[in-house]
Structure 1
Amino acid sequence: MNLSDPEFDKQAYFKRLESLIYLLLMLPLLAFGWVFLEKNKAGDLRSVFFDNPDLMFHGVMGIGVGYIIMRTTATWNRDMRKATEPFKELDVKLKMLRKPILYRNVLWAFGAAIGAYGLYEKGDMVYAMVFTVFLVLMTANRPTGRYFAKLLKLKGEERQWMER
């Protein structure tokens, strides 16, 4: 197993990255909570999506959500493995993945904000599902040793070190 810095603390790295990711989620989460409570108090929540829909609004929101999901899930893992492949040191690979992971989570936070804004503007509960999709994406892909071992397709000693 190769490390360029034998003092590299992967647990601290994971915690810092995870803290930044959850910090990115805070604003859309607060907005969603506030909008949901206000719409519920006013009785403006609608569970029927096709009842008098605003097709232009929903279309634009759908395009935004679709773009974010395609941009961050379709080929992202393969591209990250390809970018880190020339490097043998695991700590270098982890440091290289920091910005792309933050960028992907910024996009997911933006997608969650789309869900909160759609709920605010139209009151359709479909936007609660949109928000939930991005919330699940952010929490399921949080930076842990197991996540990085799977992302980088590590085996043997490297996998054990990463997951410890």
Structure 2
Amino acid sequence: MPRSQKNENFIDKTFTILADIILKIIPTVLTEKQAFAYYRDGMSAQSEGEYAEALQNYYEAMRLEVDPYDRSYILYNIGLVHTSNGEHAKALEYYFQALERNPTLPQAFNNTALICHYRGEQAINQGDPEAAEVWFDQAAEYWKQAILLAPANYIEAQNWLKITGRFD
């Protein structure tokens, strides 16, 4: 049974109904519709914590999708799954690929910054303040990009940048 028929909560059902309507009325080629259906099913699986199923759907969507902008969102969501699984190096690869295709994706900059910040905290816990500063500086650069693209969305990051003296 397709994922779109398994949704149980109201928001997922509403999204699925709207997505199905859009798929029917927008004049697109079959592969684009199929790619979107896999993407939609991946998002649904991801929201339910079914990460293996989400990845399978996202990889199928990537196989079919040719538009770089649409591919950027698929890559971003693959990065989210890897982040959720604690696979930060893999997540960063996918965030960078998403940003190559869509350099105006603030959430990819934000999540990259979060991973860098986390690594900075790990370096502090391991007694390596120099490495921590490098990671924190890297996080600051990514957060600045996210804030530039979406100034109202990353208030905590803005506060951290100001408190640490990294806000230019």
| TM-score using structure 2 length | 0.29
Larger radius of gyration: 1
Tell me: higher relative CO, structure 1 or 2? Use CA pairs within 8 A at least 6 residues apart.
1
